[in-house]
């Protein structure tokens, strides 16, 4: 059973305000890099909200994993596939579903800094500060949540629950 934590309506409202915040701090044509798989729904909806906020962002994706089929992070970030290559001199906004240990966002940001991006920022739907193991904060945060195992809105547990239009916790 999944108990709803953040409603579909609350997510939509926060997306609009996040897009306005981002439009004030990023260049109009920022390159949005969505982290797969968990961040794909948030990335798509944020991308459209950025358009409504007057931006013309580019988009690309990168696949990272640290959970597999477990409820606990393995502690190791794995890169699957290619890293977006046209980042030199560009402003990058890395978009992810959850900032918990901090490893995935730190890893992604470091790759783009190493490849010559002019500026690299992070945006997360959910922030779990109680789980932080790496000294990193996101530049833009949708919601802060307690240390619960969450699903929905693209976030899964063993490839289930991604389809839910809200964020919930498995009970």
Catalytic residue numbers read: 100
Q: Are 142 and 7 in contact (CB under 8 A)?
A: no
CA atoms of 54 and 48, how far apart (whole Å)? 10
Contact 58, 31 (CB under 8 A): yes
* 32, burial (CB in 10 Å: exposed 0-12, middle 13-18, buried 19+): buried
């Amino acid at each position: 059973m999944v108990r709803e934590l953040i409603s579909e309506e609350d997510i939509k409202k926060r997306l609009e305000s996040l897009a306005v915040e981002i439009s004030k701090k990023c260049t109009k044509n920022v390159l949005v890099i969505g982290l797969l798989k968990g961040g794909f729904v948030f990335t798509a909806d944020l991308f459209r909200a950025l358009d409504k906020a007057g931006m013309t962002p580019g988009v690309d994706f990168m696949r990272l994993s640290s959970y597999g089929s477990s409820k606990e992070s393995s502690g190791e970030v794995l890169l699957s596939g290619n890293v977006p290559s046209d980042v030199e001199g560009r402003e990058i906004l890395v978009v992810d579903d959850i900032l918990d240990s901090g490893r995935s966002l730190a890893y992604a940001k470091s790759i783009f800094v190493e490849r010559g991006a002019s500026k690299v920022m992070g945006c997360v739907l959910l922030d779990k500060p109680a789980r932080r193991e790496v000294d990193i904060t996101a530049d833009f945060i949708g919601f802060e949540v307690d240390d619960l195992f969450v699903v929905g809105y693209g976030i899964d547990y063993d490839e289930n629950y991604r389809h839910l239009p809200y964020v919930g916790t498995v009970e």
